[in-house]
Structure 1
Amino acid sequence: MLVSGPEQILAERAVDSVLTALRAHDPEVDFVKISAQGYEPGALGVHASPSLFGGWTAIVVDGFEEADDSLVEDAHALAQDPPDGVTLIVRHKSGNRGKRVLDLLKKNGRVITAPAVKSDRDKTSFVQQEFRAARRQIEEPAITALVQAVGKDVAELATACAQLVRDTTGRVRAEDVETYYGDKVETTGFKVADAALRGDTAEALRLLRHALAGGLDPVPIVAVLAMQLRQVGKVASAGRASSANLARDLGMAPWQVDQARRTAQGWDGIRLGRAIEAVAAADVDIKGGLRTGTAVARDPEYAVERAVLAVCRERRG
């Protein structure tokens, strides 16, 4: 079997599913894990040799994208003529290293993909799939809050989904996410940006100072402000197509389109442009300012606060 793709948690689940199926067939299955780094020539053949006591052997080769020539040769030989009672599982993140082995596995074996979960759209789909697999429902605002709270780490996002499934009943709401992860939501830049784009100065500054006190760097806060302003601009100028169609065309999730449409109702093009300029200026200041030959002391926290105030001011007109 080939597990192809960089997402760690999806790859681990794929391997675990095979091991579970093998243990159902043979509870005493022998599990061997081999790392591509530091591979000793011939090790695969040794582990695949028949045992005196019989039984099944599962061999997982991890990090095959870093395989040296000896591992590629040994894996190709084993995949070409696997002995009875041996299951070979190859984990490969990306690239063309060991291509002839990968092609052989794709032709003769089973392929499970573990695609990267990076964008908010990917993470939204991931959460939806987690709840679908658990036969539970979750509201879109709850998905948004969950992604904003713990979406930096996909493994943590999966753990959060499992906890909500385990500890709640009925349809999971945004209030449920706030109960469990409200502190983490507030220390992200998303709530700061949401409040700023609503023009709620007091709330935006409260959340900003809470985030900064919690150790959040000003750079991602400004990045989120810029992203949400761009999304409002793109959606506001994209016409009246359905959320699903716009999401596909603009590379956004449908809930992001709906959110941007609601936010856009309080903006016009001129004020939105000025807000974007203010955030761009803050981005320059936070990252050290323009190099003019004169050293100027800059305060990143002041720069992001000034940007938040500018966005609030433009929203209120």
Structure 2
Amino acid sequence: MAPAPASRSKAAGAKSAIPQLPWRSPRPAPVVLVTGPEEVCAERAIAGVRDYLKAEDPALEIADIRADDYTAGTLLAVSAPSLFGEPRLVRVSGVEKCSDAFLAEALAYIEHPQEGATVVLRHTGATVRGKKLLDAVRAGVGGGAEVPCPAIKRDADRQDFAAGEFKAVGRRIAPKALHSLVSAFSGDLGELASACQQLIADVEGDITEAIVNRYYGGRVELNAFAVADSAIAGRYGDALVGLRHALASGADPVPIVAAFAMKLRTMAKVAGSRESSRALASRLGMRDWQVDNAKRDLVGWTQSTLGLAIQATARADAEVKGASRDPVFALERMIAVIATRRPFGE
């Protein structure tokens, strides 16, 4: 399928002979490059390609490949036509650290792409590994398209990102509310994206500054994360005292649960990995210090207790949003489970 025409990015310039597509509205092609370090945007781009193909044919077959842990013959096998001719989407991660076997087979594949298959190649740009493959696709071999995902670091770019989150779903956010929201999550684009999506899901109508302050005001955010830190560290009494102080200071239960969810989500991403903080941060689209903090938080946790904590947080999230008449009890039960690392009441 030929990709929709799009303007070329400055990063690609005249060196690229293929369309440069925005990450918010990508289109499939026989080979799609998703390049650059911004993992949030890359995830959205890859999901956008998947959703586009699924809308065309719900029978879409999806396969995932790791280019750094590659078994010879896999790419051709998963992209080959099926018995009933369903379309195929092959998502390839880790192209920036691909094996020699993958590189050789991918270069051969783009010379003769499989009909009905879309192959998405994810390259973070962290290394020059795989550059020969990227250069070939950018030269037009394989009928490709590229979705650049450059780093979003400047405040103006972060505001544009957040504004785009609301615009994409037809919602309006007041300029002061947008500024407050971006300021509250200045250190992590993933957390900013999650905050935007939570407001979109929870709030009807326009997003005002008062709403943002209620959810993510500086004092409330600090209290919420302080409570989460205490509970995750196993300091049950400190966590309960912190919770009562936060509630007495005007904190809303919903953003308190959101603070727990954000920290546990980061812990779950980091858990079990033996990579260095820098390598893991690069792969996950995080900052080194976030990985270091998550590793410290994980001391004393197991896969089982982490799963228990995540389940307790999901239950509390539903309850503080209306599934329970007593949101304070829901918070206290969540904290009990997380701080003691045992089911409630045991």
Q: TM-score, normalised by structure 2?
A: 0.51
What is the deviation of 1:65? 0.4
Q: Secondary structure at the match of 2:122?
A: strand
Distance, in Å, in 2 between the alignment partners of 1:22 and 1:133 is 19
* Pair 1:132 & 2:180 matched: no
Is contact 1:149-1:185 (8 Å) kept?
no
Counterpart of 2:130 (choices 81, 92, 98) is 98
Shift of 1:179: 0.8
**Greater Cα shift, 81-90 or 17-26:** 17-26
Q: Measured at CA, do residues 59 and 144 of structure 1 come closer, stay the same or move farther in structure 2, by a change above 3 Å?
A: same
Match of 1:28 in 2: 59
Q: Alpha-carbon deviation of 1:2?
A: 0.7
Q: 1:140: how far off? A: 2.6
- Which residues in structure 2 correspond to 1:192-203 (within 5 Å)? none
Q: Does 1:86 align with 2:117?
A: yes
In structure 2, distance between residues paired with 1:23 and 1:171: 31
Q: Are 1:117 and 2:152 counterparts?
A: yes
| Partner secondary structure for residue 110 of structure 1 | strand
Which residue number corresponds to residue 265 of structure 2?
none
Aligned counterpart in structure 2 of residue 184 of structure 1, from 207, 221, 238? 221
* Structure 1 residue aligned with 2:180: 145
Normalised TM-score (structure 1)? 0.55
List gaps (5 residues or longer) in structure 2: 1-31, 226-248, 250-346
- Pairs aligned (count): 192
Higher helix share: 1
| Alpha-carbon separation, structure 1, partners of 2:109 and 2:183 | 45
Residue equivalent to 1:75: 106
Match of 2:50 in 1: 19
SS at match of 2:150: coil
What whole-Å deviation, never above 9, does each CA across 1:164-210 have from its counterpart, x for those lacking one? 2333344422211111112116789xxxxxxxxxxxxxxxxxxxxx9
Deviations 1:149-171 (A, max 9, x none): 23333222112112223333444
Question: What's the C-alpha RMSD, in Å, of the aligned pairs?
Answer: 2.6
Aligned to 2:77: 46
Moved more, 73-82 or 114-123: 114-123
Alignment of 1:1-317 (within 5 A): 1-94=32-125, 95-106=127-138, 107=140, 108-182=143-217, 183-184=220-221
User: Deviation per CA, 1:254-288, whole angstroms, max 9, x where unpaired?
Assistant: xxxxxxxxxxxxxxxxxxxxxxxxxxxxxxxxxxx
Cα offset, 1:34, TM superposition: 0.4
Following the alignment from structure 2 to structure 1, what is the Cα–Cα distance between the partners of residues 204 and 114?
Answer: 48
Q: What percentage of residue pairs aligned between the two structures are identical?
A: 37
Q: Which amino acid aligns with 1:176?
A: I
Aligned counterparts of 1:10 and 1:64: Cα–Cα separation in 2:
17
In 2 relative to 1, CA 160–145 (structure 1 residues): closer, same or farther, beyond 3 Å?
same
In the alignment, is the contact (CA less than 8 A) between 1:150 and 1:184 conserved in 2?
no
Judged with a 3 Å threshold, the aligned counterparts in structure 2 of structure 1 residues 14 and 128 are, in CA distance, closer, same or farther, namely: same
Cα–Cα, structure 1 residues 51 and 75, in superposed 2: closer, same or farther, change >3 Å? same
Q: Distance in 2 between matches of 1:100 and 1:146?
A: 41
Answer yes or no: is the 8 Å Cα contact 1:148–1:185 preserved in 2: no
Q: Secondary structure at the match of 1:84?
A: coil
Distance in 1 (alpha carbons) for counterparts of 2:173 and 2:60: 38
Offset, 1:145: 1.6
Aligned twin of 2:28: none
What is the Cα deviation at residue 118 of structure 1? 2.5
CA drift of 1:129 comes to 1.3
* Aligned equivalents of 2:116, 2:224: Cα separation in 1: 51
Deviation at 1:59, TM superposition (A): 0.7
Corresponding residue SS for 1:112? strand
Shift of 1:61: 0.7
Radius of gyration: which is bigger?
Answer: 1
